[in-house]
Amino acid sequence: MKKKRYLFLFITIVLIFTIAFQVTSIGGVTNKGSDKNINFNTITQQEYSIKKIEKYEKNLVYNISYPIFSNQNLNKIVENYIKNLALDFRNSFDGVDINNQKFVFNLSTEIGSLNQIIFLKFDIEKNCKEYPNPIKYTKTLIIDTKDYNQMLPQDFFNKNYRDLFYQEAKKYFLNTYGLVITKESENYNDIKSTEENYSKVFFKDNNMQVYIYDYKKQNEIYINVDKSLFRPYLKKEYLEYNITTETSITTEATTQATSSETTTITTTQKQTTQTTTISSRKIDKNKPMIALTFDDGPNGKNTSKILDILQKNNSVATFFVVGRRLEVDKEIIKRMNNMGCQIGNHTANHKDLTKLSPKEINSELWLVNKKIKEIIGKQPTVVRAPYGAINNTVKTAAPYPFIMWNIDTRDWKTRNAKAIEKEVIGKVKDGDIILMHDLYDSTAAACEIIIPALVKQGFQFVTVEELLKYKGIEMKPGVKYFNGRKS
């Protein structure tokens, strides 16, 4: 008797899914793959509608919201995946008496795309009124739209990607709990560099969300790995070179209801996600490029002056800011970021890091990262150690790329615009990283000469990140970078 009833329920579910999945199909999927030869232009566009199903089955309630694409291959994978998730939920009550309790299964889907790869994230919540805490978990599904195959991170990343994620996971434990993770650590096995530990990822807003287990919270969490960090690990065929934005358009909503022993409500919203290229400043990789770096600021007057000069010359620079100065001037950090300048971490109090404990080093960097994130919504990805002082303790406690320099203008010493110019003009060459300090009038005055003069000579001023990227140099935590030349 019981078996028969389950069979009936099973058939009902299958039927409902079959009906529900046939409701809408919209437009055509345009998917132009990347082509590095056509000037880095890539347009990825995926159309989909979001469908909501609300279904009652005795004491089980399903609230499912998922996308329907116009491509049937894509839908087949997604439908199967969701069906299995819903069946898992139902099967978990096999042999359990649930007559007096109502269980709810909530599933919502988020979508991201990176070139031809589509990422789906399913947030699942199982709850019951009588239970104090709902069970929550996340599943990710990655699909290659070239052949509509399901993918794992190792399919689009080079094998070293796990090492990057491991470094980022270490950073998370350092920044969150002040813990330096080593092979002896309690949770080393949870985060060590294996395919299994880093199998769940989702791409959104230029970040790869990497799911890891946080043993302190006893929960799965995700860490954000910025595109600039993971890009060097993407396999060639999945690389794309754009700055992208995502837009969503909601145009239509329809509601349908069917009544039978179970109830299904379907809502459809047409949406379009679109990634397009925005570039106001074009970098020509065949022309020489240099990275100007300014330490110890921001300084209201001179930093503004330098930004004005950069802007006038359609150029950018990297500012290694000191935490204690950030309280004074937050707007200038926003301006740097809006202009496309890079903001690096030059510690909270400008102490010699080699004289500090790992915990103190961590807090010196963490305070600045936190503040910058509050201001512009993202953390610096690179560090310049005060005095360039770095030892092994610093490298372990601060798993960031360390940006050094190969041209020291000695501007802090000479405080003379002519002398500063002399250190740069005539000496500078492709790939150089130049050290200056945006504190002094003489430095700003020197920039007024140096920047337009070098632009005229055909140099491009780029950020440190851009320089290393265009020169094909991978940024790795704990490594010092003196210039944009492969040694």
CA distance 351 to 389: 10
Please state the closest distance from residue 385 (CB atom) to Zn ion, in A.
9
Which CB atom, from 109 or from 293, has the smaller least distance to Zn ion? 293
Site string for Zn ion, 242-281 (x = CB under 5 A): ----------------------------------------
Q: Do residues 470 and 241 make contact, with C-beta atoms less than 8 angstroms apart? A: no
Nearer to Zn ion, 366 or 405 (CB): 405
Residue holding tokens 């503040």? Answer: 371
Q: Both tokens of residue 420?
A: 């500063």
Is the backbone of residue 117 left (phi > 0), alpha (psi -120 to 50) or beta?
Answer: beta
Q: Contact at 8 Å (CB) between 376 and 334?
A: yes
| CB contact set of 3 (below 8 Å; sequence gap of 6+) | none
Answer whether the bond into residue 298 is a cis peptide, omega within 30°: yes
| Closest separation in Å from C-beta 162 to Zn ion | 34
Determine contact, residues 22/67, Cβ cutoff 8 Å. no
Name the residue with the smallest CB distance to Zn ion. Answer: 295
What's the min distance (Å) between Cβ of 437 and Zn ion? Answer: 7
What amino acid positions are annotated as catalytic residues?
295, 437
Nearer to Zn ion, 358 or 388 (CB): 388
Report how far residue 153's alpha carbon sits from residue 161's, in angstroms, rounded to the nearest whole number. 8
DSSP 189-226: HHHSS-TTTT--EEEETTEEEEEEEETTTTEEEEEEEE
Nearer to Zn ion (CB atom), residue 169 or residue 385 = 385
Q: How far apart, in whole angstroms, are the C-alpha atoms of residue 232 and residue 225? A: 12
85 vs 390 by CB, closer to Zn ion: 390
What is the torsional sign of CA 471, 473, 479, 485? negative
- In which element (H, E) is residue 330 found? none
Q: Which is nearer to Zn ion, 47 or 295 (CB)?
A: 295
Q: Which is nearer to Zn ion, 139 or 325 (CB)?
A: 325
Nearest approach in angstroms of CB 346 to Zn ion is: 6
Binding of residue 295 to Zn ion (CB under 5 A)? yes
Specify the stretch interacting with Zn ion by CB under 5 A; choose among 76-84, 136-144, 284-292, 296-304.
296-304
Tell me if 411 contacts Zn ion by CB under 5 A: no
Distance CA 404, CA 396 (A): 17
The region of 129-137, 145-153, 288-296, 451-459 touching Zn ion under the rule CB under 5 A is 288-296
Query: Min. distance of Cβ 335 from Zn ion in angstroms?
Result: 21
Tell me the longest C-alpha to C-alpha distance in the chain.
95
Q: Which residues pair with 207 in a beta bridge?
A: 204, 226
Q: Name the segment binding Zn ion (CB under 5 A); options: 79-87, 188-196, 291-299, 428-436.
A: 291-299
Task: Please enumerate in sequence order all residues whose Cβ is within 8 A of that of 259, keeping only pairs 6 or more positions apart, or say none.
Answer: none
Tell me which of 240, 296, 432, 466 binds Zn ion, using CB under 5 A: 296
3-class DSSP assignment, residue 465: helix
Name the residue nearer to Zn ion (CB basis): 53 or 383. Answer: 383
Q: Is 168 an interacting residue with respect to Zn ion (CB under 5 A)?
A: no
Q: Under rule CB under 5 A, how many of the chain's residues touch Zn ion?
A: 3
**Would you say 122 and 141 are in contact if contact means Cβ atoms under 8 Å apart?**
yes
438 vs 465 by CB, closer to Zn ion: 438
- Minimum distance of Zn ion from residue 350's CB (angstroms): 6
Supply the minimum distance, in Å, between the C-beta of residue 388 and Zn ion: 9
Output the smallest distance, CB 384 to Zn ion, in A: 7
> To the nearest whole angstrom, how small is the minimum distance from the Cβ of residue 220 to Zn ion?
39
| Angle 313-317-323 from CA coordinates, rounded to 5° | 140
Window 361-390: contact mask with Zn ion (x via CB under 5 A)? -------------------------x----
CA distances from residue 77 to 14, 27, 118, 135, 382 in whole angstroms, order as listed: 15, 19, 12, 25, 40
Residues that bind Zn ion (CB under 5 A): 295-296, 386
